[in-house]
């Protein structure tokens, strides 16, 4: 590592009068495998003072979460600290016994894990789980524990906490579940809170609310915060200090605003270049003759200046509408107990059209009706009223072979690349599955088509015999896109297809779908809550609120001259929206 990239905040010895709250010195973490010990964190140094906020950024696999887990001794079974020190208030946490570590974890160091649905037990009530944490940390027992549980949930922003104690995680929204985890993490008023991607799956307004609330709580308690994130906007807006990790090492560290305005290390420069922002322009297709066998996440496919065209508009030309949604509504009957039902209008009189070969983005908060519209377009849900036409055919009346032919021409790519691929199917079998289902070709032609598709999504042919658990999130999403392309569709519906990916992988996937659109003439319906991403890929935008479209215009019009207060609120809520990142 070149010395010029490392700023004083990563010094291994603190010379100031105030000793740091947390000091990591030359940390080494490895994972035991059949082939020996595989290093995951290699010589990491970082310093965090009391009352300070620090963010660790980097792509998936850079060692961010492993570093955080090592601090509180929550590494997976095969992981172990193999060298270095983790000094918390001068105590080396790597030398503590399991019992002593339990006293530190929870009480003095709180932890907010990434996925609230996976980290809350689905068969236990919310109240029970919060109370269990309070009792385990020795904060209170008996009735006092129940009273403290209600206080914790109210502090976490759930005003009706008493009424919600007996509810279960599936009855909470994503934002409410995240508040519960933050409440648990702060329940013992810890000196340090580690927040691992605390808002990565939340829409921008809920994200801002939760981060504002977290900031208030940590300020009131004097808690230091260590953020693990891939969102550079969040890092510059919420953290005073920044540490950039790549392949298990710290490559750059210092004040957040200084590093992100003027990155020195080539990797940090690439991260910043790949970060979507309100200043971005639509990516123009730029097919590169790259060798897929040597694909490197840090050197290929980020949305940098070479790909973000600074043109004022896309190439001119008129296109015929391929999809027309006219006055569509969707009403669900919600059972209230006994024979009583309530009606929920998830989609309310929605109309839009998507010209052939273009991309229309549907944006809005969670619960605004975006994904329901996607299901209606895909004919996965029935329409209550209105009409949807595809290629001048009303899709609601399609049956049998006509419906099968429609599904062949309109394909989905879903949000979670981990949940949308069958873990028992190899990559080759996964991509070939639509061909088999629709009776396309023989075994040899299907295998040839699979190889062709792998090449189209820039994956090596050797991937064909691998399984989803052997692939990264970005590789899995490429496989999902390849499967959607297998039947040579006209339309692809992308439902939050890049929201779970880190910034560099996100850049690669956005470039990929742009290249495929130019090459194959595809039409996209792009569902997302990330407006900065919309700026990169969409030709037009429809903004949804409470089931209705409140604003619809070209992408530049919506971003440069938003008419509705709701749209302005969404744009303002984007982390780091007005920060000038170095490019």
Domain boundary among 167, 187, 207: 187
Query: What pTM was computed for the model?
Result: 0.74
The pLDDT of residue 7 is 41
Q: Are residues 25 and 159 in the same domain?
A: no
Residue 481 has pLDDT above 80, yes or no: yes
Q: 92 to each of 16, 226, 505, how far by Cα in Å?
A: 20, 18, 36
Residue 313 has pLDDT above 60, yes or no: no
Q: Are residues 176 and 94 in the same domain?
A: no
Question: N- to C-terminal Cα distance for the chain?
Answer: 22
Q: Are residues 438 and 463 in the same domain?
A: yes
The pLDDT of residue 453 is 92
The pLDDT of residue 448 is 94
Alpha helices in 187-318 (DSSP H): 204-221, 232-238, 256-261, 266-274
Residues in the chain: 583
Residue-averaged pLDDT of the chain:
82
Q: Which residue carries 């004083």 as its tokens?
A: 8
Q: 264 to each of 6, 56, 113, 270, 410, how far by Cα in Å?
A: 9, 16, 31, 10, 45
Rounded to 10°, the helix 126-136/142-155 angle is 110
Residue 99 has pLDDT above 80, yes or no: yes
Rounded to 10°, the helix 204-221/565-572 angle is 50
Give CA angle at 547 (544, 548), nearest 5°.
60
Residue 280 within any structural domain of the chain: no
Report the range of poorest mean pLDDT among 139-143, 169-173, 391-395, 419-423: 169-173
Mean pLDDT of 534-548: 90
Q: Are residues 92 and 79 in the same domain?
A: yes
Residue 55 within any structural domain of the chain: yes
Tell me the C-alpha distance between 411 and 106, whole Å: 45
Domain that holds residue 457: 356-378+410-572
Residue 474 has pLDDT above 80, yes or no: no
Distance of CA 477 to the CA centre of its chain: 13
Domain boundary among 224, 249, 274: 274
Residue 476 within any structural domain of the chain: yes
Residue 577 within any structural domain of the chain: no
Report the range of poorest mean pLDDT among 16-20, 225-229, 408-412, 489-493: 16-20
The pLDDT of residue 165 is 84
Tell me how many domains the chain contains.
Answer: 3
For the domain that residue 214 is a member of, what is the CATH number? 3.40.50.300
Q: Which residue carries 């340090």 as its tokens?
A: 192
What is the three-state SS of 293-334? HHCCCCCCCCCCCCCECCCCCCCCCCCCEEEEEEEEEEEEEE
Residue predicted with more confidence, 529 or 326 = 326
Residue 61 within any structural domain of the chain: yes
Please, which residues have CB within 8 angstroms of residue 218's CB and are 6 or more apart in sequence? 53, 186, 193, 224, 225
Tell me the C-alpha distance between 430 and 420, whole Å: 10
Please, which residues have CB within 8 angstroms of residue 490's CB and are 6 or more apart in sequence? 322, 356, 391, 409, 410, 521, 522, 523
Nearest alpha-carbon partner for 570 in 536, 533, 538: 533
Tell me the C-alpha distance between 527 and 53, whole Å: 33
Residue 312 has pLDDT above 50, yes or no: no
Residue-by-residue DSSP string for 498-513: TTTS-HHHHHHHHHHH
Residue 426 has pLDDT above 80, yes or no: yes
Domain boundary among 220, 246, 274: 274
3-class secondary-structure state, position 36: strand
The pLDDT of residue 142 is 84
Q: Which residue carries 């109210």 as its tokens?
A: 154
Residue 401 within any structural domain of the chain: no
Residue 212 within any structural domain of the chain: yes
Q: Which residue carries 């850079």 as its tokens?
A: 62
């Amino acid at each position: 590592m070149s010395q010029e990239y490392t700023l004083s905040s990563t010094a291994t010895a603190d010379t100031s009068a105030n000793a740091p709250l947390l000091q990591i010195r030359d940390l080494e973490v490895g994972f035991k495998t059949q082939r020996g010990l595989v290093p995951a964190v290699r010589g990491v140094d970082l310093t965090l003072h009391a009352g300070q906020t620090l963010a660790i950024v980097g792509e998936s696999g850079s060692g961010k979460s492993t570093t955080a887990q090592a601090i509180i001794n929550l590494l997976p079974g095969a992981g172990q600290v193999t060298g270095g020190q983790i000094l918390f208030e001068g105590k080396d946490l790597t030398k503590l016994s399991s019992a002593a570590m339990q006293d530190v974890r929870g009480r003095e160091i709180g932890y907010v894990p990434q996925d609230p649905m996976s980290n809350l037990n689905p068969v236990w009530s919310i109240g029970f789980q919060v109370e269990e944490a309070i009792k385990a940390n020795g904060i209170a027992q008996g009735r006092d524990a129940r009273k403290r549980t209600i206080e914790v949930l109210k502090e976490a922003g759930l005003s009706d906490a008493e009424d919600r104690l007996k509810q279960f995680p599936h009855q909470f929204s994503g934002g409410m579940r995240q508040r519960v985890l933050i409440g648990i993490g702060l329940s013992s008023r810890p000196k340090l809170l580690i927040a691992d991607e605390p808002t990565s799956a939340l829409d921008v307004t809920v994200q801002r609310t939760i981060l504002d609330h977290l900031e208030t709580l940590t300020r009131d308690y004097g808690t230091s915060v260590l953020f693990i994130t891939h969102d550079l906007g969040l890092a510059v807006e919420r953290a005073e200090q920044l540490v950039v990790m790549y392949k298990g090492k710290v490559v750059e560290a210092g004040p957040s605003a200084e590093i992100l305005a003027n990155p020195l290390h080539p990797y940090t420069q690439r991260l910043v270049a790949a970060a979507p922002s309100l200043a971005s322009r639509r990516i123009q297709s730029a097919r590169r003759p790259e060798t897929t066998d040597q694909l490197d996440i840090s050197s290929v496919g980020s949305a940098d200046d070479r790909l973000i065209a600074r043109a004022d508009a896309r190439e001119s030309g008129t296109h015929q509408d391929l999809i027309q949604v006219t006055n569509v509504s969707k009403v669900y009957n919600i059972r209230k107990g006994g024979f009583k039902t309530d009606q929920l209008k998830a989609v309310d009189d929605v109309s839009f059209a998507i010209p052939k070969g273009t991309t229309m983005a549907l944006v809005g908060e969670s619960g605004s009706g975006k994904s329901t519209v996607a299901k209606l377009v895909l004919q996965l849900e029935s329409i209550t009223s209105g009409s949807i036409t595809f290629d001048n055919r009303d899709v609601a009346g399609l049956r049998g072979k006509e419906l099968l032919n429609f599904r062949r021409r309109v394909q989905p790519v879903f949000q979670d690349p981990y949940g949308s691929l069958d873990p028992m199917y190899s990559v080759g079998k996964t991509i070939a599955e639509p061909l088999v289902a629709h009776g396309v070709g023989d075994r040899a032609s299907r295998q040839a088509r699979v190889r062709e598709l792998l090449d189209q999504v820039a994956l090596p042919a050797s991937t064909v015999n691998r399984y989803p658990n052997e692939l990264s999130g970005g590789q899995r999403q490429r496989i999902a896109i390849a499967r959607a392309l297998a039947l040579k569709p006209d339309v692809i519906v992308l439902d939050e297809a890049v929201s779970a990916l880190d910034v560099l992988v996100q850049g690669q996937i956005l470039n990929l779908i742009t290249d495929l659109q130019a090459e194959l003439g595809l039409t996209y319906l792009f569902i997302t809550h990330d407006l900065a991403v919309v700026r990169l890929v969409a030709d037009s935008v429809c903004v949804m609120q409470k089931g209705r479209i409140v604003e619809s215009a070209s992408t530049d019009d919506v971003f440069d001259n938003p008419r509705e207060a709701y749209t302005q609120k969404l744009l303002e809520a984007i982390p780091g929206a007005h920060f000038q990142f170095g490019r």
